[in-house]
Amino acid sequence: MSELNRMHCEACRADAPTVSEDELAELIREIPDWTVETRDGVMQLERVYTFRNFAEALAFGNRVGEIAEAEGHHPAILVEWGRVTVTWWSHKIRGLHRNDFIMAARTDSLPGAA
């Protein structure tokens, strides 16, 4: 398991730098089930989790929301029957920050993440 899942987010300012290409290459290896998606010019981390039913998906989505609220760093969470899509990015800097990789790793460590 990644060391990232034990880390906490740092406060992100609007002038904080996005991860460099080298940092991106290093950090993405720590969360191999995530993909980098670019939407409207903004790089984002995304992963789809699958579940047996809606209730399990909803419970997982709520657990993601709980860790997000605890860190003050909030993803897009799409809950559907049997699946949850989680997308992390740093809104203030319109891109990826180390915080996003930390939260992706922490999402992977939640009960039900498979």
**In sequence order, what DSSP letters do the residues of 41-81 get, joined into one string?**
TEEEEEEEEE-SSHHHHHHHHHHHHHHHHHHT---EEEEET
Position 39 pLDDT exceeds 70: yes
Annotated domain spans of the chain: 19-108
- What is the percent of the chain where pLDDT is above 90? 79
Is the model's pLDDT at 7 over the cut of 80? no
Cα distances (angstroms) measured from residue 63 to each of 18, 27, 97: 27, 23, 22
pLDDT at 27: 95
Q: State the average pLDDT over residues 78-98.
A: 95
CATH of domain 19-108: 3.30.1360.20
Residue 94: strand, helix, or coil: coil
pTM for the whole structure: 0.91
CB atoms within 10 A of CB 81: 10
Long-range contact list for 6-9, CB < 8 A, 24+ apart? Answer: 7/102, 7/105, 8/71, 8/102, 9/71, 9/72, 9/73, 9/99, 9/102, 9/103
How sure is the predictor about 17, in pLDDT bands with cuts at 50, 70 and 90? confident
